[in-house]
Structure 1
């Protein structure tokens, strides 16, 4: 006899507020604080009141002097406003500090106990009729600077005070933090998760203009400070250079655009906007700020792909150096096209010649036969060593596999179809494998339908609760099962179809339903790289033929070394 089905109220966005304990008085303090007090409540509709956004998407954090608020390189999804006290921005490398430990692996006992603790029913959940509020604070010890006085004396820092905002770059662009911010004094800081920031920006033009201005100016200075071509400049010179740089964006938000290219087009690259054309004069240095760009060269009556550029790569550098040395204009060797959505910066040639090239360290200047110059495309940096064949280059770029930091690559020459990888994945994940052993292929190389933990993880866009987010330490993309409301936004956003919505069941195998509507409750599922498991991804460990591997596709050497093993 089957047990009665479990019915729960369908989760909603604000079932899990950022701080469940946020008091009414704290909400009033936030609404009266800079940034928030200038917002017009009348711009917000009844179902999305300003006070409700603050109550559910904001919290007040308290830090002691020296505590690290955000760390350069960590992924984050929130913006901060200083309520009391001061904070300091540090763009230089972080001195030794008590860094929080990354996500812990399970103990041997817990890993073994999972084998007999799994439910025989797939996607089993243990849920109360209504899940309690989940506190979304990251499970990490707070890091701090052990010698803050020495840091402040020896490092170049930027002070922030009451009402100053920071963290908007990472919150808006889904990229790692560009600087470290620590408490200069004991302070209180308002933290607003990005879903709330999104709603505030959408309703208030003034806030949108303020945040976007900060995003542009601060991200630019951080970008220059990180770039090998500009890192040697002092802060004052970098600021002068920044004033002359032009922002541009090209393409669409879709990695695989539809409808833009005529069906009868004979040009395979017609859907990728041309940014710079081979043979034209090099009058700018182009820096990739976000996204991907295809590098091509003319061949016969068409174009041949020679590689791609990603975040922090540059284009046109070799030509600019040569015309600076010779005093004669040089044409571009390659063309550059946007893949999906691309943000670039254009640094005028005159600015490069006046401020950058004369003081650039010699080892960064190309020789007459530049094999490793910064502008050389990723897949062409050492063609003799990598041996990447042209059709494989085209495949990896055309299928946007270059976006993956943990792509599941299968050697079809060795794969016997035993499905041990699938069985191992199922045994680790509620009886349901988190990938499909199929996918686009070229020759003997197949990219399985498994989450690639992308450089530009567009699945993060639009999640109403922030249930899908990056791990703060490792950068892997994970789904918080308790805060996922089953809306399917992430699954629809993933251009690779690597996120699947599944019905969940109780311990008796009955589908869990929505108490109000009677419809099945769903959750988003995908590869989580076997987070917490000993030994890493079970799929790779289970393959008896060494036919499966997880690879970072920004390094062609990894792929070639594995194929030649």
Structure 2
């Protein structure tokens, strides 16, 4: 029997089909086969393989002054310049959050009367620049300051980090002349990386040159490493990729590598009899391998990719050399070993308690930075939360109270405000966005055209189309709607604040410990 796709796998499968059958962005046209064959980065592919993969390779033209990539947006394609020049620009000022929609009189009265009942629980987690104004660039080789610019020319590739690892673009890329580019959607980019050795080596080299040192410096564990030690790690590190459900390391196998998660989620599980018990999960910036390398033992748990995963692999000898020069890092790793072994022991002693952790992984809750939960032990199904949401949004609620159940909580059909909002990828008008430095993913009803790309792109089905007359288009459309955390409302999300029993809460579920404690 063919196993059922997880939501992430289903979304990936759908995106692959879309990428091969329709233009990935407005104005993109197929590349003629003869021109495809002339591209350096496909050399080594047979004509049969090139015809197969070439169905997903496109070309697009830009006029002087056109913005190709924009700061804060997520991308699902890399670009290779064929002719012309582009410029990388780090904005002097970053986009501010969009103002909230005007309140109607009933919403305003309820908001004023509701003050003093306890502010809603929500997460700020502002993503800001460092105090001196620098930010991390995901595609370029420097912690650049606002106003930084660099020139790109024929043969240069850009956008690949966002496409592979779902980092938002940290810069604008603007055409400074008429420009023609090859467009490589993410599924094609992954396939080329895996099947064309020279291309894969180029992508890995660009990551090492442009980004790895910055990533190492921003991972708390490595932040204090001397620059020369990070430089040595950068020279020896290897970038490796894994597909959904692919095993990265097996419990009991020799442990010879240290892994740093660059993108995606990784499940850690321990085998007990015929059952794999979920212990925890890893996300961007997390790491694994410290137990086996420090204790000189086999892998104590199995690592499996929950989705497409990008890892930085550091070999045993390079890992040991780094520790020898930085005793404080070794001290931190020993503390991490103790914590991880405690998690492993907890899973073995309490298999039923960690079952909810597995559910949270499989249903995508671990992606959420503000997940709406309803405590079924205290909820009376009065629907005040739904009415409050509707009153705040002009009569149309932005969530459905019914949803999946985990432990004694119901998880309504409401946007999770994911760490990596894949729903934003590919919107033809930019109507769905997350203003830089904010938590809310917003949909602009004036620029939404009802194409449903975000609706179909949400793996958790939390974006709902509703009938709407678009004054921009002058016709009826199915407007994409979703929870926006009541952006601009002083008390935070209305569903939480107006619940008379305190049953509705908003929780950041990125941390596995929070998930375990909440659902155990």
Aligned to 1:471: 435
Q: Give the secondary structure class of the aligned counterpart of 2:63.
A: helix
Counting matched residue pairs gives 420
Gapped runs of 5+ residues in structure 2? 1-22, 28-57, 111-128, 135-141, 193-198
TM-superposed CA distance for 1:429, in Å, is: 1.3
Is the 2:371–2:416 Cα contact (8 Å) retained in structure 1? Answer: yes
- Tell me how far 1:390 sits from its aligned partner: 1.9
Q: 1:561 to 1:339 in 2, by over 3 A?
A: closer
Q: CA deviation at 1:229?
A: 3.4
Q: 1:321 aligned to 2:294?
A: yes
Output aligned runs, 1:189-204, within 5 Å: 191=174, 200-201=183-184
Aligned to 1:327: none
- Cα distance between partner residues in 2 of 1:285 and 1:247: 12
What is the CA-CA distance between 1:371 and the residue it aligns to?
A: 3.2
Cα distance change on mapping 1:297 and 1:410 into 2, 3 Å: same
Deviations 1:445-476 (A, max 9, x none): 12111000112222122222222222212142
Residue 43 of structure 2 corresponds to none
Q: Name the counterpart of 1:301.
A: 274
- Secondary structure of 2:174's partner? strand
Deviation at 1:145, TM superposition (A): 9.2
Aligned position for 1:127: none
Q: CA deviation at 1:146?
A: 8.8
Tell me what 1:553 maps to: 509
Counterpart secondary structure, 1:448 = strand
Does residue 336 of the first structure (1) align with residue 297 of the second (2)? no
Distance 1:104 1:488, change over 3 A: closer
Partner of 1:453: 417
**Cα distance in 1 between the residues matched to 2:63 and 2:205:** 22
CA spacing shift, 1:387–1:57, aligned 2, 3 Å: farther
Shift of 1:294: 0.8
The CA deviation string for residues 204-245 of structure 1, in whole angstroms up to 9 with x for no partner, is 99xx99888645642322221212333233334323312222
* Equivalent in the alignment of 1:538: 494
Residue 240 (structure 1) aligns with:
232
TM-score (norm: length of structure 2): 0.66
Q: What displacement does 1:322 show?
A: 2.5
After the TM superposition, which residues 149-164 of structure 1 pair with which residues of structure 2 at under 5 Å, given as runs?
161-163=150-152
What is the rounded CA distance, in whole Å, between the counterparts of 1:167 and 1:414 in structure 2?
47
* Aligned equivalent of 1:409, options 356, 366, 373: 373
Instruction: Give the Cα–Cα distance (whole angstroms) in 1 for the partners of residues 239 and 132 of structure 2.
Output: 39
Q: CA deviation at 1:549?
A: 0.8
The whole-number CA distance in structure 1 between the counterparts of 2:233 and 2:246 is 27
Normalising by structure 1, we get a TM-score of 0.61
1:444 aligned residue (405, 408, 416): 408
Summarize the Cα distance change of 1:242–1:362 in structure 2 as closer, same or farther, 3 Å threshold: closer
1:403 Cα deviation from its structure 2 partner? 0.9
Q: Following superposition of structure 1 onto structure 2, how do residues 79-228 of structure 1 map, counting pairs within 5 Å?
A: 103=97, 111=103, 113=105, 115=107, 161-163=150-152, 169-170=161-162, 173-176=165-168, 191=174, 200-201=183-184, 214-215=206-207, 217-228=209-220
**2:262 pairs with 261, 283, 289, which one?**
289
Q: 1:229 to 1:146 in 2, by over 3 A?
A: closer
**1:493–1:104 CA distance, 2 compared to 1 (3 A):** closer
Q: What residue in structure 2 maps to residue 311 of structure 1? A: 284
Aligned to 1:230: 222
Choose which of 351, 371, 389 in structure 1 pairs with 2:318: 351
| Superposed CA offset, 1:503-557 (max 9, x none) | 10489xxxx864xxxxx42221100111111111111111111111111002356
- Paired position in structure 2 for 1:499: 463
Partner of 1:265: none
User: In 2, distance between residues paired with 1:144 and 1:279?
Assistant: 42
Unpaired runs of at least 5, structure 1: 1-12, 18-47, 61-68, 90-97, 119-142, 149-154, 182-188, 253-271, 324-329, 515-519
Counterpart selection for 2:387 from 423, 427, 432: 423
What do residues 398-425 of structure 1 show as CA deviations (whole Å, max 9, x unaligned)?
2221111111111111111111111111
CA contact (8 A) 2:262 2:285 kept: yes
CA-to-partner distance for each residue in 1:228-271, whole Å, 9 max, x for gaps?
3332333343233122222222124xxxxxxxxxxxxxxxxxxx
State how far apart, in whole Å, the 2-side matches of 1:408 and 1:145 are.
Answer: 32
- 313-322 vs 387-396, greater mean Cα deviation: 387-396
Measured at CA, do residues 233 and 299 of structure 1 come closer, stay the same or move farther in structure 2, by a change above 3 Å? same
Task: Give the match's secondary structure for 1:354.
Answer: helix
Name the CA distance, whole Å, in 2 between partners of 1:484 and 1:199.
Answer: 27
Contact 2:347/2:353, CA 8 A, preserved across alignment? no
Structure 1 CA distance, aligned partners of 2:480 and 2:88?
A: 40
Q: Could you tell me which residue of structure 1 aligns to residue 67 of structure 2?
A: 58
Contact 1:291–1:456 (8 Å) recurs in 2: no
| Aligned-residue CA RMSD (Å) | 4.8
**Alpha-carbon contact 1:174-1:460 (below 8 Å) kept:** no
Q: Summarize the Cα distance change of 1:357–1:490 in structure 2 as closer, same or farther, 3 Å threshold.
A: farther
